[in-house]
């Protein structure tokens, strides 16, 4: 699978930290929002980063080019098993290894939970193909490479919809619950690779920019009265990779919302 290089002129400069120097991080769905924030944080701390998207090629290339460390952009639709495996292959071809896989790519559309007719077979299938099958295919392809490095990591970005009966659709909530269970099963069976999940509440991203009523509801109910930011999720992701004795954990990042809902 073809890749495109990002700018790397700042590697080794004072603007790039050394904490993750020599490590390679693949962040799926990283052309904007949560994935972009995660890519930026790892790059600023010295990692080589692969940026990915299924369709937003120009945006993905811009993100990769703007990262302070060495980076590459790879277009791949993870719901296609061949492209998912090709994304892992392209990462290892470009950088020679894979240390951290952040499964952030996902898809949803808003469907009221009490409207079964609106939750069409097409929506149901696509939600599972991207969120569950795509994550599974990537993870299976990544595990042999993660076994070859010290402290291989998988971090799945899930949702509070996986731990509460909420979310943009019933299908979406089901997929995030599946990913949380997948996280714990993989952590149990594939150590010393560490597998954890970050489960945010509503996050203020370009995807949710017109969800004004939902953001207002979160701000009125959560003990920390606002929606999450992409950087909140990035910080939780970094925390899992930094703490070398965490595996099988699901970190809820929702400002305490699930405590009151």
Question: Burial of 58 by CB count in 10 Å (0-12 exposed, 13-18 middle, 19+ buried)?
Answer: exposed
Query: In the numeric block, which tokens belong to residue 75?
Result: 């277009």
Phi, psi angle pair for 237, to nearest 5°: -65, -45
Query: In the numeric block, which tokens belong to residue 117?
Result: 């007719």
Catalytic residues, which ones?
172
DSSP code of residue 158 = -
Instruction: Determine if residue 194 is left, alpha or beta; phi over 0 gives left, psi from -120 to 50 gives alpha, anything else beta.
Output: beta
Please name the residue ranges forming H helices in the chain.
33-44, 57-66, 81-95, 121-128, 135-146, 170-189, 212-221, 230-242
Question: Burial of 97 by CB count in 10 Å (0-12 exposed, 13-18 middle, 19+ buried)?
Answer: middle
Query: In the numeric block, which tokens belong to residue 1?
Result: 């699978």
Euclidean distance between CA atoms 98 and 50, whole angstroms: 10
H helices, E strands: number in the chain: 8, 8
Instruction: Characterize the bridge pairing of strands 48-53 and 24-27.
Output: parallel
Euclidean distance between CA atoms 87 and 8, whole angstroms: 21
């Amino acid at each position: 699978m073809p890749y495109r290089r990002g700018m790397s002129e700042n590697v080794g400069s004072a603007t790039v930290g050394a904490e993750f120097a020599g490590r390679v991080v693949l962040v799926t769905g990283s052309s904007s929002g949560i994935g972009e924030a995660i890519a930026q944080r790892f790059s600023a701390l010295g990692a080589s980063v692969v940026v990915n998207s299924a369709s937003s090629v120009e945006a993905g290339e811009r993100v990769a080019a703007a990262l302070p460390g060495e980076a590459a952009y790879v277009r791949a639709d993870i719901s296609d098993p061949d492209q998912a495996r090709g994304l892992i292959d392209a990462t290892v071809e470009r950088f020679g290894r894979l240390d951290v896989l952040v499964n952030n790519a996902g898809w949803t559309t808003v469907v009221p939970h009490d409207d079964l007719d609106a939750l069409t077979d097409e929506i149901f299938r696509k939600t599972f193909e991207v969120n569950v099958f795509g994550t599974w295919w990537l993870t299976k392809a990544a595990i042999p490479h993660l076994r070859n490095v010290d402290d291989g990591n998988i971090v799945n970005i899930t949702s509070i919809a996986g731990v509460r009966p909420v979310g943009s659709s019933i299908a979406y909530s089901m997929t995030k619950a599946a990913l949380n269970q997948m996280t714990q099963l993989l952590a149990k069976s594939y150590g010393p690779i560490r597998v954890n999940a970050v489960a945010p509440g509503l996050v203020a991203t370009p995807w949710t920019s017109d969800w004004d009523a939902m953001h207002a509801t979160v701000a009125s109910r959560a003990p920390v009265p606002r929606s999450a930011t992409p950087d909140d999720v990035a910080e939780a992701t970094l925390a899992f990779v930094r703490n070398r004795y965490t595996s099988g954990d699901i970190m809820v990042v929702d400002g305490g919302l699930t405590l009151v809902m």
